[in-house]
Amino acid sequence: MAQPENITINGTTYAFSSLSDAARGHVASIQAVDAEIARLQLQMGIAQTARNAYVGALAAALPANAEAPAVAPTA
């Protein structure tokens, strides 16, 4: 991922080239975590879409009338 020319942290702008190696490492870690969060959000959207499809398929597979046989409660 390309590094920015400047970075703003807590309202202060710094030249990326002036950051220490440790600070640059933290920036890289933040970028990696942001990318992982974006990937997981995409996966979550895919999973939610699949879940909605299964719910729709289940609804279509259930009896159409409201007189479906009741399940006896278990003790």
**For 35-71, what is each residue's pLDDT tens digit?**
999 999 999 999 999 999 999 999 999 998 766 666 7
DSSP code string of 29-70: HHHHHHHHHHHHHHHHHHHHHHHHHHHHHHHHHS-SSS-PPP
> Taking a C-beta distance cutoff of 8 angstroms, is the pair 16, 3 a contact?
yes
**For 21-32, what is each residue's pLDDT tens digit?**
999 999 999 999
Beta bridge partners of 56: none
Phi, psi of 30 (to 5 degrees): -60, -45
pTM higher than the cut 0.75:
no
